[in-house]
Amino acid sequence: MARAFVGSQLWFESGLYADSGLLEHGGHLCLCNCDATPEGVFCSGAGVSGSEKVASFLGVFAVNDNHNPDKWEGDLIAYENTKPFADKFYIEEGPGSGSYYIGVSQSLEEKSFVWRGRMEGVSCEGKESCKGVCEGARMYEDWYDDCK
């Protein structure tokens, strides 16, 4: 199940920034490695916009409705960037499927922001965008090799 999260997902978001107003962004979420435990699926990866790394991520995902195994939620925190933030994910049809997310900045005062975005689901289409940030990640490299 953890392997279903690994790969590249296209993201689109709109955000309201205290210092610059309403902006729209897009790129790829790269989940490089994920491990399942009884408490959830823990993942590491990065976000990429164009050819630039936006941030590194740590995340955890779990079923949020014991009566529906496809209802998953997740939390990601960003690091290795100048504007730390956290995202809350709501996964539509189980691991690796499309989702939407809501993000907030962390203590940035006049540079604070909020956003909402959507993920398209894991797809081989963006595998090259994530290759650099996931280099050396065994699970990502296996996923990459499986994409034809």
Give the separation between CA 101 and CA 109, rounded to whole angstroms: 22
* 1 pLDDT tier (thresholds 50, 70, 90): confident
14, 117 contact by CB (below 8 A): yes
Best CATH choice for the domain 2-146 from the list 3.90.75, 2.50.20, 1.20.1270, 2.40.128: 2.40.128
32, 140 contact by CB (below 8 A): yes
82, 60 contact by CB (below 8 A): no
Instruction: Identify the pLDDT of residue 67.
Output: 76
Instruction: Identify the pLDDT of residue 3.
Output: 96
Contacts 24+ apart (CB under 8 A), 36-39: 36/1, 36/2
28, 47 contact by CB (below 8 A): yes
Give the separation between CA 11 and CA 53, rounded to whole angstroms: 14
CA distance from start to end of the chain: 21
Q: Using one digit for the tens of pLDDT, what is the confidence trace for 93-123?
A: 999 999 999 999 977 888 899 999 999 999 9
Q: Using one digit for the tens of pLDDT, what is the confidence trace for 44-56?
A: 999 999 889 999 9
| 37 CA to centre of own chain | 19
Domain ranges of the chain: 2-146
pTM of the model: 0.92
